[in-house]
Structure 1
Amino acid sequence: MTFLLAASNLLRMIARRVGQVAAWCVVFLILTVVLDVITRRFIVLGSTKLQDLEWHFHAALFLLCLGYAYVEGEHVRIDVLHARFGPKTAAVIELIGATLFLAPFCIIVLSYGWGFVAHSFQLDEGSPSLTGLPHRWIVKSALLVGFATLLIAALSAITGSLATLLGAPPPRSHHDEHQEVGL
């Protein structure tokens, strides 16, 4: 049980760190949008590169924060029902969901995504616009990193749920801590 808890905490920490680092994409996204708006509005200079960069940052932000959202309990679920369950029932539901649905889905996306990114890299794919950004495989790689992080988060949930079913206290997310203090 101690091994399961240690593994769950390590995997949770990895997913959390990736999300915390990726969250900085929002700063770059905001700066890019502001620069794009200023150059369009006041300088009358449209830039396809800036527009491409906006969606690259947006995609990276979303994909790289998937695992973070899951380990923090910020993902979509029916909290009304989840709050009514005891720790063991919630652990069984989490274990079934992560084992039968989330982990296999991540594995499928990673197996198909690898070819998707590799093909883009081989072609040195760029923006369909002549003046857009080159090397589209870079942003497509965020798909692999994001779903690998989500798989790590799923494995954390699986090991944490197993530990809870074996008698350990359920793992806590920051979401649970904020609800206790009324945030």
Structure 2
Amino acid sequence: MENENGAEAGGFFAAFFDGLIWFVQSLALGFYNLAYAITHPASWLDWLTWANTAEDKESLMRFVYYGGSTEFFFCVLAIIITVVGFGMWRNAFMWGCVRVLEGLANGVGRLFAWAGLLMVLQQIIIVFMQRIFTRPDISFGFGIPLQFDISWFAEELKLYNAMVVCLCVTYTFVQGGHVRVDLIYSAVSHRAKRVIDMIGSMIFMVPTAVLIWLYGWYFLWRHLITPNPAASYDLERLLRTARAVRWSVETIGFSPNGFNGYFLFKILLVAFAGLVFIHGVAFFMRSYLEWKEGEDSEGKYLDRDTLGDGEEAYEGVH
């Protein structure tokens, strides 16, 4: 029995060290791959000039593969480690990163929040066209050759809603607008709160965004190109299929005359994951800086909207 327990323990430690070695090697390769990608952009971005050449197709398949690969993950991790490590040495640099990333969340959110107004206006137009003018379609004048059935515009309202949900999520987070269920957070000290925030961002926020990205990336490309790529394909297999690749953008609606741009929802899913990941890192950096600098730094450089005469915006339910 002791020998069996010893063998199990030895196997565990061997697997642990093997995994640790793999992680360190992958991280080191992440720095190398990042430098290579920056110095050789044509190898994975040549498809943007799409001339339907063999080089374009191979660069597209490289882009598809690396977007959901472990190599890309470790490239991003290398960037984060570098930025956070330098920021711990120079806190002013980290504060600058926080302000830039939170500014990105606010800028994107404030822009696409207008989709809510567009959704309301379009719904009003649909009601008027159906109930008052009894028209089966809506067409635009002024030389714009755009005419769709009423059902197309009715289903397209989902896209506006998806824009608000996916692209305003981090903006709402920065503004403190998400509903929270608080059991212990409000009762602990300032530094304990920041520790909880750091752990939460790294244990829940960032890993969840990574999982959504990994599933959403190939889900997106399966509706944009054919032959359909799969997450299980390695780079060599994708490059072998590059000669047959062609654009096959999904344009099938749920109804005969309904909205047929559902591939846009796949793009929004990937954008959602990217924004949440980026802000998870920003939230970790803010929490670290507020933990290090104390209570006086709470809310430092935080750009929140105001209501009326300087009244702070709604900050969520605690």
Contact 1:107–1:151 (8 Å) recurs in 2? yes
Match of residue 268, structure 2, among 142, 152, 165 = 142
Provide, for residues 42-99 of structure 1, a one-character-per-residue CA deviation record: whole Å limited to 9, x for no partner.
Answer: 2334521111211111111111101111111111213685444433122111111111
Q: Deviations over 1:1-37 (max 9, x none)?
A: 2222221111111111110111111121111111111
CA contact (8 A) 2:304 2:312 kept: no
Q: Which amino acid aligns with 1:17?
A: G
Q: Which amino acid aligns with 1:116?
A: F
* 2:60 aligned partner: none
C-alpha root-mean-square deviation of aligned residues, in Å?
Answer: 2.6
Partner residue of 1:63 out of 163, 166, 170? 166
The match for 2:200 is 97
Higher share of residues assigned helix: 1
Matched, 1:7 2:97: yes
Consecutive unaligned residues in structure 1, runs of 5 or more: none
Matched, 1:170 2:298: yes
Match of 1:22 in 2: 112
Partner of 2:286: 160
Aligned counterparts of 2:152 and 2:97: Cα–Cα separation in 1 = 42
Give the letter for the 2:189 counterpart. Answer: G
| 1:120 counterpart residue number | 223
Mapped to 1, the partners of 2:252 and 2:264 lie a distance apart of: 10
Using the size of structure 1 for normalisation, the TM-score is: 0.86
Q: 2: distance between equivalents of 1:95 and 1:177?
A: 29
Structure 2, unpaired ranges of 5+ = 1-90, 137-149, 226-248, 314-318
Task: Name the CA distance, whole Å, in 1 between partners of 2:116 and 2:292.
Answer: 40
1:9 corresponds to which letter in structure 2?
R
Larger RCO (CA under 8 A, 6+ residues apart): 1
Whether contact under 8 Å (1:49, 1:133) holds in the other structure is: yes
Q: Which moved more, 1:8-17 or 1:41-50?
A: 41-50
Distance 1:11-1:100 versus aligned 2 partners, 3 A rule: same
> Which portions of structure 1, spanning 4 or more consecutive aligned residues, are displaced by more than 3 angstroms?
78-86, 175-178, 180-183
Identity of aligned residues (%): 20
- Aligned mate of 1:35, from 112, 122, 125: 125
Alpha carbons of 1:95 and 1:33: their partners in 2 closer, same or farther (altered >3 Å)?
same
Please give the alpha-carbon distance, in whole angstroms, between the structure 2 residues aligned to 1:100 and 1:177: 34
Q: Which amino acid aligns with 1:112?
A: Y
